[in-house]
């Protein structure tokens, strides 16, 4: 194991070094970036992406991709918000159950389309990205859930907790990260996800229930997007049919790719993804501090994804070489 860690570890160490270098560079220009407060800002920026990235990582490890997560987030947040609006008497923590449940259902539908009809996930989820967004408008009658309907206790979760006042939402996202790590590293099912992505043809011959595992990763991805949905309501205090979750998929995929998860499946770690998310969070937090216009943010995101791809390719040149050989 130590050897595996040392090999795979290189990639994570690389991202970690990038984070440190970035922080130092920004810190030289703006010393206030190197304060505990910045850490707070970054950590409050990333919980949703972190949660989404864990789900997306499972899907990508299994050699698929889920582009619909932003719309899943929006739909589950919207339905949950509507429950809060029309049934304020319902005990609010049930909202978590509802949001996660709806997310899981939508994720499962993606999985069914991918497995039963044998369609490529990229196209299926491009379709459901629109479909779920459309449904969000339809169920909500294109109306926003305003702040006043979101339970105060839910909103408070994004602001504080009894534990050093660190908001619950941060604990929740870290718990998801830890659970994903445990699941992937220490359960047989987790290893089967790696195996499936590593060699989908061999998987059934080794007794892996390919359909089951595929459905599972899509369902988990959906469920975590659902969780991100209700946390969106907590963090921002409202749910909007068009904004909520829009573009979420790109941030998440960017983070996962930067974190070193191979788009060809089978390769990638929770730690790497975690660092990928943090790096994006640092960039997002540093830009306004440096007074860089918000309009450059997308260009930087795009550039970071491309650079990550190039790094990925360099780091794994050997692997790519053998792939090229098989393909050429």
| Residue 288 engages other proteins in binding (rule: CB under 8 A) | yes
Angle at 285 between CA 51 and CA 238, to 5 degrees: 55
Reading the block at residue 123, the tokens are 């196209």
| Residue 253 engages other proteins in binding (rule: CB under 8 A) | yes
d(CA 75, CA 128): 11
- The CA distances from residue 296 to 42, 58, 93, 137, 253, in Å, are 19, 30, 39, 30, 19
| Residue 294 engages other proteins in binding (rule: CB under 8 A) | yes
- Min separation Cβ 87 and other proteins, Å: 19
**25-33, 89-97, 98-106, 272-280 -> range binding other proteins (CB under 8 A):** 25-33
| Residue 144 engages other proteins in binding (rule: CB under 8 A) | yes
Binding positions for other proteins, 67-106, rule CB under 8 A: none
Q: How many CB atoms lie within 10 A of CB 207?
A: 7
Among 15, 21, 257, 269, binds other proteins (CB under 8 A): 257
Contact 261, 18 (CB under 8 A): no
Place of tokens 């040149």: 317
Q: Of 13 and 143, which has the nearer Cβ to other proteins?
A: 143
Q: Of 101 and 316, which has the nearer Cβ to other proteins?
A: 316
Among 39, 112, 191, 315, binds other proteins (CB under 8 A): 191
Which are the contacts of 159, defined by CB distance < 8 A and separation ≥ 6? Answer: 167
Reading the block at residue 20, the tokens are 């440190």
| Residue 327 engages other proteins in binding (rule: CB under 8 A) | yes
Q: Of 26 and 224, which has the nearer Cβ to other proteins?
A: 26
Among 192, 214, 221, 234, binds other proteins (CB under 8 A): 192
Binding positions for other proteins, 296-315, rule CB under 8 A: 296-303, 305-306, 309-310, 313
**Residues 111-140: x/- map of binding to other proteins (CB under 8 A)?**
--x---xxxx-xxx-xxxxxxxxxxxxx-x
Strand-pair partners of 239: 145
Contact 49, 313 (CB under 8 A): no
Contact 42, 285 (CB under 8 A): yes
Burial 225-257 (b: 16+ CB within 10 A, else e): bbbbbbbbbbbbbbbbbeebbbebbebbbbbbb
Among 101, 143, 161, 311, binds other proteins (CB under 8 A): 143
- Min separation Cβ 23 and other proteins, Å: 14
- Min separation Cβ 295 and other proteins, Å: 5
| Residue 218 engages other proteins in binding (rule: CB under 8 A) | no
| Residue 24 engages other proteins in binding (rule: CB under 8 A) | no
**81-89, 93-101, 170-178, 196-204 -> range binding other proteins (CB under 8 A):** 196-204
| Residue 59 engages other proteins in binding (rule: CB under 8 A) | no
Q: Of 18 and 45, which has the nearer Cβ to other proteins?
A: 45
Contact 277, 55 (CB under 8 A): no
- Min separation Cβ 294 and other proteins, Å: 5
Reading the block at residue 18, the tokens are 């990038």
Q: How many CB atoms lie within 10 A of CB 134?
A: 14
**18-26, 172-180, 220-228, 257-265 -> range binding other proteins (CB under 8 A):** 257-265
* Residue (of 230, 212, 231) closest to 220 by Cα position: 212
- Min separation Cβ 182 and other proteins, Å: 9
SS3 assignment, position 305: helix
């Amino acid at each position: 194991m130590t050897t595996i860690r040392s090999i795979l570890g290189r990639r994570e160490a690389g991202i970690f070094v990038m984070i440190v270098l970035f922080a130092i560079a920004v810190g030289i220009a703006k010393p206030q970036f190197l304060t505990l407060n910045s850490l707070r800002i970054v950590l409050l920026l990333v919980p949703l992406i972190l949660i989404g990235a864990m789900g997306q990582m499972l899907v990508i490890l299994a050699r698929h991709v889920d582009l619909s997560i932003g719309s899943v987030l929006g739909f589950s947040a919207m339905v949950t918000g509507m429950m809060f609006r029309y049934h304020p008497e319902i005990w609010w923590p049930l909202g978590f159950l509802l949001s996660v449940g709806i997310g899981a259902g939508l994720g499962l539908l993606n999985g069914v389309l991918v497995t039963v009809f044998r369609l490529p996930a990229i196209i299926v989820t491009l379709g459901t990205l629109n479909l779920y967004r459309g449904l969000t408008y339809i169920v909500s009658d294109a109306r926003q859930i305003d702040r006043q309907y979101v339970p105060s206790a839910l909103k408070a979760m994004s602001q504080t907790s009894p534990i050093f006042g660190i908001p619950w939402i941060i604990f929740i996202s870290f718990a998801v990260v830890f659970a994903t790590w445990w699941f992937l590293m220490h359960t047989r099912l987790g290893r089967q996800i790696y195996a499936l992505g590593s060699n989908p043809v061999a998987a059934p011959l080794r007794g892996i229930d390919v359909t089951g595992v595929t459905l599972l990763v899509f369902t988990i991805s959906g469920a975590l997007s659902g969780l991100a949905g209700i946390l969106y309501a907590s963090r921002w205090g409202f749910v909007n049919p068009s904004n909520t979750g829009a573009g979420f998929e790109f941030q998440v995929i960017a983070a996962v790719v930067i974190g070193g998860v191979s788009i060809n499946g089978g390769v990638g770690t929770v730690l790497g993804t975690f660092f990928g998310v943090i790096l994006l969070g640092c960039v997002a937090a540093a830009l306004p501090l440096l007074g860089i216009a918000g309009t450059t943010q997308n260009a930087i995101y795009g550039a970071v994804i491309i650079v990550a791809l190039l790094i990925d390719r360099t780091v794994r040149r050997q692997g790519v070489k053998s792939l090229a050989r098989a393909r050429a």
